[in-house]
Structure 1
Amino acid sequence: MKKLLSSRPTLWFLFLFNLSVAAVAPFAIEGSQGVMTAVGMGVVSLGAGVSLIRDRGGKAVTR
């Protein structure tokens, strides 16, 4: 499961999907539930984005 969750396509999906849900949630869901949904999805998106940036530096091309 760890290998699946740390693959680049999965991280890109988590980043983009959760970012879009976090942007739309306060407008689609009324009140504090919409805000908390946006915060939760934003945290997941931020985690996936940080993993993408952190892994990018470790994949150096060697000859």
Structure 2
Amino acid sequence: MAVESKTVRVRLVKGLRGVQSRHRLSVKALGLSKLNDVRELKDSPQVRGLINTVYYLVAVEDQA
């Protein structure tokens, strides 16, 4: 039996101009660089923490 890990789809919906440098680093750690970039990441507490830090810059979709 293989355990299927949940993923999360994250999209950068707001530009980084005028944003705190710590938040820019969080967006970069998520693998996002340009507006409307999308990444599918493993759903883990670390990723959720980064998303919660920049909640106002990203849109999140849960995946099965």
Q: Same fold (TM over 0.5)?
A: no
Q: Which has the higher helix share?
A: 1
- Specify which structure has the bigger relative contact order, considering alpha-carbon pairs within 8 angstroms and separated by 6 or more residues: 2
CA radius of gyration, larger in = 1
